[in-house]
Structure 1
Amino acid sequence: MNRLIQFFILTIIFVGCSKAPLTNRKQLDLIGDNQLMASSFDSYDQVLKENKLSNDQEKVQMIKRVGNNIKNSVEKYLDQKGRSDLTEGFKWEFNLIVDDIVNAWCMPGGKVAFYTGILPICKNEAGVAVVMGHEVAHAVANHGGERMSQALVQQLGGVALGVALQQQPEQTQALAMAAYTGGSTLGILKFSRVQESEADRLGLTFMAMAGYNPETAPDFWQRMKAKGGGAPPEFLSTHPDYDTRISNLNKWMSEAKQYYSSSNKAQNSEIGEVTEKSDLNVNSKPKNVIQLKVKDN
C-alpha cells in the first residue's frame, strides 16, 4: 500500500511539473488558475477584515500610486515577452494595513498588502517600489502556487490531493493563505532562495520600467540589514543573506538601468514619519501574516 501511495505521489508530481514563467526553471504546479485565484481573493478579503486599514490618505494614495506604476510596468514587460497571459484574471488591489510589523506581500491575482511598519525602512517611494516590485514578481512568477502545490503534496499526500481541492475548501484555503503571505501559520515552506532571487531580479526590472531608480534597491536592503542586526549563515536560511542579495542586485544593475533610462521617471517623495502607531494594539498581532524577513529564520 505504501508503494502504491508513493507511486501516486510521484505520478502527480511528474504530471504537475511545468516551467516557471519567465525563467523556465522546473516548477511544481498542481493548482489550476481558477482555484488559485478564488482562494487568493477569499484569503485577501479575510486579511482585510481582520486588520485595520490605514486612513492616512497621503500614504494610502502613495501605495496605490506606486502599485499602479508597477502594475503598468509588469503588463508592459509581459507584453514585450509575449506572456500577457500571466496576468489574465488579475484583479489588482493595493492596501495599507496599520501595524508595526515589517511586512508586505502580493497574493496571486495582484492582491497587495503593505504594513505601516515597513514604510520607515522604505524611506521614500523608490523604496516602496523596491518592495512592491519584489512582491508582485512573486505573484507573476507563480511562486505562491508553487509553494501551495508543494504544501499539498507534503501535508495531505498525493492520494488526498484531489479530495482536498474538491472537498476540503477551508483546509485548502488555509494552505493558500500560508503559501501566499509567507507560511508561518502551518509551518510550511517559505519562499526558497531560488524564488527569492527570481523575485529580486524581476522586481528590479519592474521598478526600473516604472521609472524608479533601480540603484535604490541595494540601499533598501542595506537598511533592512541594519534593522535586522545581522543574519544567520546562509546555509541555515531559506533566503539569501543580505550581502548575497545586495551583490546579486548590483550584478543585475546594468540590465535594470537600461530599462530605467527608457522609462518615464516616477516621482520619489519622502514618506515621512509614520504617525499611526497610536492606533496599534501592541498586545495583538494580525492573523495569517509573516514578516518580510528582517531576520532570516
Structure 2
Amino acid sequence: MRWIRTLAVTALVLTLAACETSPTGRQQLTLMSDAQLNEMGREAFEKYQQDLPSAGQAQQRYAQCIADALVAVLPERERNKDWQIRVFESEQANAFALPGGYMGVNTGMLDIAKTQDQLAAVVGHEIGHVIANHANERVSTHTSTQLALSVLGSAAGMQGQGGQQLMGALGLGAQYGILLPFSRRHESEADTIGVRLMADAGFDPRASLALWENMSAQGGARPPEWMSTHPSHGQRMQGLQAEMGSAMARYEQARQAGRTPNCPRP
C-alpha cells in the first residue's frame, strides 16, 4: 500500500540522517545538535539551582570529589565537557543528569548510597547517560515516532472518530512498545557504562550491587515492568552481575595504577 511505502521511506530517511554509536557499540538515532542540547541542559540546571535548596558545603565537596575522580578517567573529548554536580536538600532518593555534563544528587540518595563507592555508582550512572547522548536519542526517538504516526495518519486517510481511535491505539502502542522500552535500555546501558567507569576510577564496582540492595530494601510500589521507564531492581542487579567479572579486572588495574580515590563522607 502507498501509505506503507511512505512510512518506510520516512523511517529510512530519519535513520540515515543521524546514526551514531553509543559507548557500548549500540546504534543510535540523534537528530539534535549537541550545542543545542547542551544549552538546554545548562538552562535547566540553572533553574534547578534557583528552585531547589542546596545542601551544605561538606556534602558538596563529597559529591564533587567523587565526580572529579570519575571525570578524570573519561576520554579527553568527554572529559572537556562543563561537568558540574550539585547536592540538593530533598528526602527523595534521586539523582539526575542533563546534557552538557550537569548533574544533581539529592540528600535522600546520600542516605541510601552509604559509601563513596556506592555514590560513585550513582554518579557514574548519571555520567553514562550524558556520554551516551541519551537525551538526544530520547528526543530524536520521540520526534521520529510522532512524525511517523503523523505520516501514517495522513497517508492512510484516518479521519473521523474511528480513525482517531485507531491513531490513539497506535500512539499507545508506540509509547509502550518503543519509547518506554527505549528508556529501559538507556537505564541498563547507563548502568553498564557507570560500573566500568567507577572501576576505571578505582571505586569498587561491587558497591553497585550493594547500592541496589539498599534501594530494594526501601520497598515501595512499582508499576509493571512493561509500563515503567526503568528496569526492575532485580533486572538491574542481573545486568551488573553480568558485567562484574570485567569490571573487577578494570578495578584491579586502576588500583595498580595508583587510582585510589579518598572522598571522606560528611
Common fold: TM-score over 0.5: yes
Equivalent runs, 1:47-66 vs 2, <5 Å: 47-54=48-55, 56-66=56-66
Distance 1:10 1:215, change over 3 A: same
Q: Which residue of 1 aligns with 2:68?
A: 68
Gaps of 5+ in 1: 79-83, 160-187, 272-297
How high is the TM-score relative to the length of structure 1?
Answer: 0.70
What is the correspondence of 1:1-297 to structure 2 with a 5 Å cutoff? 6=7, 9-10=10-11, 12-54=13-55, 56-73=56-73, 75=74, 78=75, 84-85=76-77, 87=78, 90-154=81-145, 192-229=183-220, 231-263=222-254, 264-267=259-262, 269-271=264-266
Q: How far is the alpha carbon of 1:58 from its aligned partner? A: 1.2
Give the Cα–Cα distance (whole angstroms) in 1 for the partners of residues 109 and 207 of structure 2.
16
Q: Return the offset for 1:201.
A: 1.1
CA-CA distance at 1:223 after TM superposition: 0.7
Q: Structure 1's 131 and 144: CA in aligned 2 closer, same or farther, altered over 3 A?
A: same
> 1-side partners of 2:32 and 2:60: how far apart?
33
Per the TM alignment, residue 14 of structure 1 is displaced from its structure 2 partner at its CA by 2.2
Contact map agreement 2:65 2:263 (CA 8 A) in 1: no
Contact persistence 2:29–2:141 (CA under 8 A): yes
2 CA distance for matches of 1:156 and 1:113?
33
Q: CA deviation at 1:156?
A: 6.9
Higher helix proportion (structure 1 or 2) = 2
Do the aligned partners of residues 24 and 18 (structure 1) sit closer, same or farther apart at CA in structure 2, a change above 3 Å counting?
Answer: farther
Q: Identity over the aligned pairs, expressed in percent?
A: 28
Distance 1:48 1:8, change over 3 A: farther
Q: Secondary structure at the match of 1:262?
A: helix
Shift of 1:267: 2.1
Amino acid corresponding to residue 22 of structure 1 in structure 2? P
How far apart in 2 are the matches of 1:113 and 1:72? 18
Secondary structure at 1:94 match in 2 = strand
Residue identity in the other structure for 1:267: N
Preserved contact between residue 62 and residue 264 of structure 2 (Cα < 8 Å)? no
Are 1:151 and 1:189, in contact at CA under 8 Å, matched by a contact in 2? Answer: no
Following superposition, the deviation at residue 9 of structure 1 comes to 4.4
Write the deviation string for residues 210-259 of structure 1: whole angstroms up to 9, x where unpaired: 11111111010011111134645534433221112112212211111111
Change (3 A) 1:152 1:243: same
Amino acid at match of 1:194: R
TM-score of the superposed pair, with normalisation by structure 2:
0.77
Cα distance in 2, alignment partners of residues 45 and 123 from structure 1: 28
Say if 1:17 and 1:26, in contact at 8 Å, map to a contact too.
no
Q: Is the 8 A contact 2:95 2:126 kept in 1?
A: yes
Equivalent-residue separation in structure 2 for 1:205 and 1:133 (angstroms): 8
Structure 1 or 2, whichever has the larger Rg, is 2
Q: How many residues matched?
A: 234
Separation of aligned partners in 1, 2:223 and 2:139:
26
Matched letter for residue 70 of structure 1: L
Q: 1:198 to 1:226 in 2, by over 3 A?
A: same
Q: Is the 8 A contact 2:203 2:251 kept in 1?
A: yes
Over 3 Å counting, the alpha-carbon distance change for 1:121 and 1:191 in structure 2 is farther
